[in-house]
Amino acid sequence: MITKINELLEEVKKLSASTNEELEALRIKYLSKKGTVNSLMNEFRTVSAEQKKEVGKLLNELKETAQNKINEIKEHFENAQTSDIDIDLTRTAYPIPLGTRHPLSIVKKEICNIFNRLGFSIAEGPEIEDDWHVFSSLNFAEDHPARDMQDTFFIQHHPDIVLRTHTSSVQTRVMEKQQPPIRIICPGRVYRNEAISYRAHCFFHQVEALYIDKDVSFADLKQVLLYFAQELFGTDTKIRLRPSYFPFTEPSAEMDISCNLCGGKGCPFCKYTGWVEILGCGMVDPNVLDNCGIDSNVYSGYALGMGVERITNLKYQVKDLRQFSENDIRFLRQFESAY
């Protein structure tokens, strides 16, 4: 039996195959349950006790040699198949088109950069807020229309918890924790219970600014507004302020800019007035300062706020607000070179 095993060992060392089918035939011949190696293993029981050690060692060597030879031929086939494929392994698996910034992100960042150059830092706060920070601290009366269900999303079973309707709630949180001087901008998403249409949505984005210090005047506010408008829309941009009303500022105003499409001459976009409204502003009401723990006899300040969608419409003439949240890739690709 020892001679038979040695002859088979030499035979196994010389095995070769040119196809996968031939390789499989060799595996079946030598290593399958009814193959040559297993047949010798079955004969092992008839070997005399004196030869069992030597024969067992040879059988194990035969089985291991046969298995290694089969694996070697198989690996050779796999490497040959890979080398026949003409590919550049340094390239990505498939072309990946570059993404684009969302137009609202482009404009929001541009607005924040302008105010950063004026020394404003960014402040953020929660989108789910309490009544105090959204309304009461900002001088909203108990019967103010903004508290009605038609304007505000209230959390069910929690009448004092709402989705913030403006980022002014961030300003009150900062004022409660920090004494003047305060110079912050508050970008973020806000929510209003409104019907969705081409000109309105139930959520949108705002950027608000707040500056509180000693001897802050309306003239300071006007100069910041003029700088902001000319940085964002061009050096030829003019501004005008119209009296308005907001619960948290007194006096209050709305700011218009000269239409950047017609240069103030009048067109359908500005309804032939030559002016387009972009934000609301005013001097912080003393009651708001006192509510937040700031002495209104010592400090004064101004606040302003704008809708990012509104500014984006002016810059890129987007006529339907719904396009900002529909994730239509055809719409978003228009802004590849915008920033």
Cα atoms in the Cβ-side hemisphere of radius 13 Å centred on 282: 18
Sign of CA dihedral 325, 328, 329, 333: negative
Residue recorded with tokens 């003439």 = 317
Strand 121-122: give its sheet, edge to edge.
121-122, 182-191, 203-213, 300-307, 275-284, 249-258, 239-246
Q: Tens digits of per-residue pLDDT, 40-96?
A: 777 777 777 777 788 778 778 878 888 888 888 888 877 766 555 566 777 777 777
Tell me the one-letter amino acid at 268.
Answer: P
pLDDT of residue 188: 94
Q: How many helices (H) and strands (E) does the chain have?
A: 11, 10
CA-to-CA distance for 257 and 236, rounded, in angstroms?
Answer: 10
Does the structure show a pLDDT above 60 at 150? no
Whole-angstrom CA distances from 231 to 12, 38, 78, 111, 308 are: 83, 86, 63, 9, 16
Q: Which amino acid belongs to residue 49?
A: A
223-281 per-position pLDDT tens digit: 999 999 999 988 989 999 999 999 999 999 999 998 877 777 877 777 888 898 999 99
pTM confidence score: 0.68
Distance CA 101, CA 291 (A): 39
pLDDT digits (tens, 9 = 90+) for 92-116: 777 777 778 889 999 999 999 999 9
